[in-house]
Amino acid sequence: MGKEIERKYLVRSGEYLTLADPIYFHQGYLSTDPERVVRVRIEGDAAKITIKGSNVGITRDEFEYDIPLEDASYMLNNLALKPTICKYRYKIEYKGFIWEVDRFINENEGLVIAEVELDNEGVSPILPEWIGDEVSGDKRYYNSSLVKNPYSKWRGDK
């Protein structure tokens, strides 16, 4: 059984832009029920379907499978909840951890979030200078929440 243990942080500077080349992501959700989130994603020239269970702390069940690119395109265009999520991801190694920095576009323009996956909840990664406040427990920053309530609608409420 797959498990995902991750922490999320806001990004406070554009320094990350010079540390890696971005990959374009287009993803959508077939279900945003917190008990069973189902996501379809095109990541560069590959496609995946992911099923995630509900969070217990910063841990949740996660199952991810490769699917044909054509199937993912169809699901994003015809089955996924709207709006879909478009973003650029930068993978950056820092002091033994891989940071995934997502710079959102379209309805979520202006939002930049960094995630780091951990081996267990007790691990505290060393934070790069460009990392800001932790938002791991704030559901507004879940990608599945950004479909229902895009950043462009609430960014003035931060």
Q: Which of 122, 119, 110, 114 is nearest to 93 (CA)?
A: 114
**Total residues found in the chain within this entry:** 158
Q: Running DSSP on this structure, what letter comes out for residue 56?
A: B
Distance CA 111, CA 3 (A): 26
Distance CA 153, CA 55 (A): 25
16 included as an active-site residue: no
Distance CA 81, CA 28 (A): 6
Place of tokens 């930068």: 90
The catalytically annotated residue of 9, 16, 29, 151 is 29
Q: Which spans in 23-142 are helix H? A: 69-78
- Catalytic residue set: 29
